[in-house]
């Protein structure tokens, strides 16, 4: 534990938050960063994201929860199109709901206290205070199934399959979602638990009817994520994480930095240099979704000497729009000049820096 002198502890006074009409999101987060608790953490998150963009990094977005149904689709598209992130690890459900919405099937605000049994009879599905048309979801599942049936019967990583799906979906969507924007920008999307979603049931349905025998090779997926770190560090760059929620996506993104040992016992990655997590999970329950990045250092996932990390304990639908808006306001020049990884998105994955 760090030891501080009495004098050192009294160097940075709290600056009471003052209302200034017309403050931008950037202004708000700078002032919040001079306060305490989660306001301070959110302010620090903006500072760390700025460092990621200014440094030579591959920024991996880890995505879980129902953020797309909650209205975050176009925010994700902005981050992809302007290269505030370079690679995505997502749950299957998030990708399915993104595609369903981009195909023209919106999610709707609803009242609290709805009768879920009655909703089922009406073919309406609920996400807390949000609803969607289950018949539209069926149509999107049928589209994914038909697309899978059009592919060659061989093994695919989730990254390759989702890239091809994103390319095909560009012909059908009303406006871009995460998946189509990622395909256009050559931003790889990994889905370590693809089977835990309607993406998985669509593929299973096609196989059950003996109309497709394509395979999802999750082991090859892990090797591709390793290559993201290998090729990033080979070009004198480092990896960074932006984690929204927790779950499988978080661990999958974190573990990429631990895989250097595969080529020999003396081979180690420098590991992740920066990380931000926005979550409502807590560390005292012992699960990885709430585990601190300090705990992750014991697993070799973060640079022991130089890493800069922060946890923001907040609903991502509150924190993320403020955070992303603030960083976008501050970093227009940086983004226009940023040297980011450029991925080759064929059957094999590779990257070079622009």
pLDDT digits (tens, 9 = 90+) for 105-117: 999 999 999 999 9
- The pLDDT tens digits for 136-188 are 999 999 999 999 999 999 999 999 999 999 999 999 999 999 999 999 999 99
Q: What fold characterizes domain 14-353? A: Deoxyhypusine Synthase (3.40.910)
Beta bridge partners of 310: 276
Least confident of 85-94, 182-191, 248-257, 264-273: 264-273
The pLDDT of residue 125 is: 97
Q: Are 293 and 311 in contact (CB under 8 A)?
A: yes
> How many Cβ atoms are within 10 Å of 33's Cβ, its own excluded?
19
Calpha distance 5→7 (Å, rounded): 5
DSSP class per residue in 149-186: HHS-SSEE-HHHHHHHHHHHHTTT-SS--HHHHHHHHT
- State the pLDDT at residue 291: 84
Q: Using the predicted structure, report yes or no on whether residue 265 has a pLDDT greater than 60.
A: no
pLDDT (tens digit per residue) in 32-67: 999 999 999 999 999 999 999 999 999 999 999 999
Instruction: Look at residue 104 and tell me whether its pLDDT is greater than 70.
Output: yes
**pLDDT tens-digit series, residues 282-306:** 988 888 788 888 888 888 889 988 9
pLDDT surpassing 70 at residue 267: no
pLDDT digits (tens, 9 = 90+) for 327-340: 999 999 999 999 99
pLDDT computed for residue 46 by the predictor: 98
Active site (catalytic) residues? 301
- Please check the confidence at residue 317 and state whether its pLDDT lies above 70: yes
Within a 13 Å sphere around the CA of 151, how many CA atoms are in the beta-carbon half?
27
């Amino acid at each position: 534990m760090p030891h501080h002198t009495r004098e050192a502890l009294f160097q940075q006074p709290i600056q009471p938050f003052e209302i200034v009409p017309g403050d931008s999101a950037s202004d708000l987060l700078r002032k919040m960063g001079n306060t305490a608790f989660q306001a301070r953490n959110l302010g620090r998150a903006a500072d760390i994201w700025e460092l990621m963009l200014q440094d030579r990094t591959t920024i991996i977005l880890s995505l879980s929860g129902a953020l797309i149904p909650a209205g975050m689709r176009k925010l994700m598209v902005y981050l992809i199109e302007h290269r505030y992130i370079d690679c995505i690890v997502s749950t299957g459900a998030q990708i399915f709901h993104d595609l369903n919405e981009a195909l023209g099937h919106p999610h709707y605000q609803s009242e609290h206290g709805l009768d879920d049994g009655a909703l089922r009879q009406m073919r309406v599905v609920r996400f807390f205070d949000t609803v969607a048309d289950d018949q539209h979801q069926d149509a999107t599942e049928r589209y994914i199934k038909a697309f899978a049936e059009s592919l060659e019967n061989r093994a695919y990583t989730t990254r390759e399959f989702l890239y091809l799906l994103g390319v095909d979906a560009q012909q059908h969507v009303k406006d871009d979602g995460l998946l189509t924007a990622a395909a256009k920008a050559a931003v790889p999307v990994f889905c370590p638990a693809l089977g835990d979603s309607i993406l998985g049931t669509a593929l299973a349905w096609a196989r059950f009817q003996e109309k497709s025998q394509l395979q999802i090779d999750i082991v090859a997926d892990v090797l591709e994520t390793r290559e993201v770190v290998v090729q990033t560090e080979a070009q004198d760059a480092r990896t960074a994480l932006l984690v929204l929620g927790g779950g499988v996506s978080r661990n999958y993104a974190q573990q990429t930095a631990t895989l250097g040992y595969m080529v020999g016992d003396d081979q180690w990655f420098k590991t992740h240099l920066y990380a931000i997590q926005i979550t409502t999970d807590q560390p005292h329950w012992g699960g990885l979704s709430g585990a601190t990045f300090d705990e992750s250092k014991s697993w070799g996932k973060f640079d022991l000497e130089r890493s800069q990390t922060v946890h923001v304990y907040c609903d991502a639908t509150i924190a993320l729009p403020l955070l992303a808006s603030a960083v976008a306001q501050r970093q227009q020049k940086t983004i226009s000049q940023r040297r980011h990884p450029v991925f080759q998105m064929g059957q094999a994955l590779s990257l070079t820096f622009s």
